[in-house]
Amino acid sequence: MSGILYLIPSPIGDIKNVDYITKNDLTALLKLKYFIVEEEKTARAFLHYCGHSLDSEVVFTEYNEHNYKNYFNNEWLKYIKAGNDIGLISEAGTPCVADPGSEIVLTAQLNNIDVKPFTMPSSIILALMSSGLNGQKFTFHGYLNKNEDKLKGQIKYLEKESKKNRYTQIFMEAPYRSQKTFETLIHTLYDDTLLSVAAELSTSNQFIKTKQVKAWKKSPIDLNKKRCIFLFLASHS
């Protein structure tokens, strides 16, 4: 009988903040000896604060944006098919959402391997809940294009779709691009479009605010080096 693939979220902010892990999840985590991770250094720190022994038997294999397209390491698949459990750890937040780990999970599913996610609030849902925007119909787009001209085109298209269908549009941004993306948003969206900014969620510096674009233009904010989720809903009028 095959083992279980556990999906393990890591803290979005302070790596020491592991209180969200339930007792049952922690019990399973501390027994694991094989981990698929984005960055071994960060994963080791996270496991340390969880109380894992990190003895010499623990194995880490890195799977991230730099190598996932050429990742043909099936050792983990042999290991789990032999009846051993494996933990898949994201770099910050929930595994497999805007994250290459989804390919690992799909491989597990297609090989009839049980997949069990740990319990943790999703930053995307937290941002949506706190925005006041349409939570009945929404679309998550991961990361938008890095090229500024293409980004503007995407934003205009998504705003048009939002106006037509009343969908809340949601996407994430890397800390080093957050400020530039915010500025692109307020200069591309219509003035009456509602724009919500959720930054540094689940940290002491958390910021969540929704305003019309014309109001954002009058009260700019500093999002430099802050992990952000942007949400917007076009005016229906």
pLDDT for 65 beyond 70 = no
Q: Is the model's pLDDT at 76 over the cut of 60?
A: yes
Q: Is residue 40 predicted with pLDDT exceeding 70?
A: yes
Indicate if the pLDDT at residue 72 is higher than 70: no
Q: Are 130 and 208 in contact (CB under 8 A)?
A: yes
Span 71-89, average pLDDT: 87
User: Please, which residues bridge with residue 209 across strands?
Assistant: 197
Pairing of strands 34-37, 59-62: parallel
Predicted pLDDT at 75? 85
- Of 211 and 93, the one with more pLDDT: 211
Residues 4-117: name the CATH superfamily.
Answer: Tetrapyrrole methylase, N-terminal domain (3.40.1010.10)
Position 194 pLDDT exceeds 80: yes
- 123-233 belongs to which CATH class? alpha beta
Query: CATH 3.40.1010.10 in the chain, residues?
Result: 4-117
Lowest mean pLDDT among 79-83, 161-165, 204-208: 204-208
Which residues of the chain form CATH 3.30.950.10? 123-233
Q: What is the mean pLDDT of residues 123-148?
A: 94
The confidence score (pLDDT) of residue 109 equals 95
